[in-house]
């Protein structure tokens, strides 16, 4: 006890602290290594099941836990490689070679990344180094000799593009992309060729790929939005320009394009909603606003004229509908527009032309049911036109309500009542009066009206129906059917 009292604690305390720290650090390192091993094990497990994102999460943790272990970087790099994340795979394989320069497998992987990026000179250097370390590596030897050929083809493709030979440039770029699918440069080159050849759909596909490869490209998003707008895909263009504004909310090109696209997209959506709600006048107004806002982009103009054609036809403004349908079809042939044109032609009693329009739609798409139905209706109405048209007799639209039909009947019956005429005029009036009564009978009866609208006259004796003995007034048994008076309110 006395010996403990005599100890100089001022000298002993620092030693004890250092000893304790060493013990803590040693324990901490053991714990960290155990955690690293656990993450590596889980990473391998997820990788074997093809769950690459989950595997990547655990390899991230392993790298953070042991930042000097080249194998953890290599394993994470292989996952990046499998996910097509070239930039990060390249960083990890380079880190591996910094830590262990003689790790040949990592060098082969890095060379392959360079090859897929079309960085052929870097790939050649790595493959050459592999041949020094492993002279029997046939893959490295093959690609080492091929990199010069690929470099020359890339220079030739660029030369074709500069010289205006866009087809040759695009074909050569396509061949190179089979080896170097991660090359944004090659895809951009081919996209420019497609644009020059007016193959905008193919260009859109390549620029989408460029944007995935260059994740922070505002210029790429603006270009893609502009191309989609040129193709008339307004809502898709709006999505892409929004991606641009996420990166730069005040982008000088994307912001004004966004305002324009938002306006056009809203108007086209209004056309669709109004048409579905049968508010055709609103649809017509919105379509006219589209045409007022955009006069240069052909396929956007087409969308505006297409909606005008459709909604004018549904609103039974036949003449204006026919004009807009023809204007739309001058820009682009489409089955739905040809059917709208056919409806307008039927409304104008131009049945032969309507049949031709529906037939053209069927030639484009033989399975288009609307065109089949439209052609059948036009053919029936053509046959019917040689007989009585009850709508014309009463001077009402085909969409007239029962109340409108009854009102028109009263007006016509009062005008053509035979008692108002003498001599030969009375015979004409009698015939007209019979037609007027027949029109009222058919059009105020839902079943008979449906038959007539489908092209069958329910009062036609040849159709198997002979109401009233072929005469709607022969139920009067004595004398002339006109020996009575109508009283109109």
Give the C-alpha separation, 283 to 276, whole Å.
9
pLDDT the model gives residue 313: 95
pLDDT the model gives residue 383: 80
Closest CA to 94 of 76, 106, 108: 106
pLDDT the model gives residue 272: 95
| Residue 451 neighbours by CB distance under 10 Å | 18
pLDDT the model gives residue 133: 87
Residue carrying structure tokens 């929004």: 242
pTM of the model as a whole = 0.66
For each successive 10 residues of the chain (489 residues), what is the average pLDDT?
Answer: 48 49 44 74 78 79 82 89 89 92 92 94 93 87 91 95 96 95 94 94 92 84 93 94 92 94 96 94 96 94 96 93 94 95 90 93 92 92 78 86 91 88 76 87 90 81 47 39 41
pLDDT the model gives residue 467: 40
pLDDT the model gives residue 246: 92
pLDDT the model gives residue 424: 61
Which pairs count as long-range contacts for 1-6, CB under 8 Å and 24+ apart, including other chains?
none
Give the C-alpha separation, 354 to 343, whole Å.
7
pLDDT the model gives residue 466: 40
What is the CA 348 to chain-centroid distance, rounded?
35
């Amino acid at each position: 006890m006395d010996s403990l009292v005599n100890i100089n604690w001022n000298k002993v305390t620092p030693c004890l602290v250092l000893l304790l720290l060493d013990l803590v650090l040693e324990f901490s390192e053991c714990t960290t290594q155990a955690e690293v091993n656990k993450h590596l094990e889980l990473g391998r497990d997820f990788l074997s099941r093809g769950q690459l994102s989950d595997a990547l999460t655990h390899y991230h943790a392993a790298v953070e836990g042991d930042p000097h272990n080249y194998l953890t970087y290599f394993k994470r790099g292989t996952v990046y490689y499998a996910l097509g994340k070239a930039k990060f795979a390249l960083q990890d394989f380079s880190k591996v070679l910094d830590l262990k320069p003689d790790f040949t497998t990592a060098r082969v992987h890095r060379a392959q990344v360079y090859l897929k990026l079309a960085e052929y000179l870097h790939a050649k250097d790595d493959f050459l180094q592999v041949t020094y370390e492993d002279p029997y590596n046939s893959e490295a030897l093959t690609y080492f000799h091929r990199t010069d050929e690929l470099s020359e083809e890339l220079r030739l493709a660029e030369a074709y593009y500069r010289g205006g030979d866009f087809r040759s440039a695009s074909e050569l770029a396509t061949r190179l992309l089979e080896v170097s699918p991660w090359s944004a440069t090659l895809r951009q080159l081919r996209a420019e060729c497609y644009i020059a050849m007016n193959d905008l759909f193919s260009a859109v596909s390549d620029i989408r790929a460029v944007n995935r490869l260059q994740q922070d490209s505002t210029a790429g998003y603006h270009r893609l939005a502009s191309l989609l707008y040129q193709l008339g895909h307004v809502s898709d263009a709006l999505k892409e320009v929004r991606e641009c504004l996420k990166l730069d909310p005040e982008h000088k090109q994307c912001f004004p394009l966004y305002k324009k696209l938002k306006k056009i997209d809203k108007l086209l959506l209004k056309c669709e909603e109004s048409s579905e709600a049968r508010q055709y006048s609103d649809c017509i107004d919105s379509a006219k606003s589209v045409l007022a806002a955009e006069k240069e982009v052909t396929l956007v103009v087409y969308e505006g004229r297409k909606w005008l054609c459709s909604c004018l036809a549904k609103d039974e403004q036949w003449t204006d509908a026919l004009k807009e349908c023809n204007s739309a079809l001058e820009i682009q042939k489409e089955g739905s527009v040809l059917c709208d044109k056919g409806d307008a032609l039927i409304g104008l009693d131009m049945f032969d032309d309507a049949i031709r329009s529906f037939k053209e739609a069927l030639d484009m798409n033989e399975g288009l049911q609307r065109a089949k139905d439209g052609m059948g209706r036009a053919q029936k109405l053509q046959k019917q036109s040689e007989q009585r048209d009850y709508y014309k007799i009463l001077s009402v639209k085909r969409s007239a309500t029962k109340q409108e039909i009854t009102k028109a009947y009263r007006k016509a019956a009062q005008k053509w009542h035979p008692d108002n005429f003498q001599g030969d005029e009375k015979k004409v009036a009698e015939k007209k009066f019979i037609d007027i009564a027949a029109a009222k009978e058919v059009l105020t009866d839902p079943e008979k009206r449906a038959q007539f609208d489908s092209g069958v006259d329910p009062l036609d004796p040849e159709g198997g129906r002979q109401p009233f003995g072929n005469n709607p007034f022969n139920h009067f048994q004595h004398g002339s059917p006109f020996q009575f008076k109508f009283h109109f309110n």
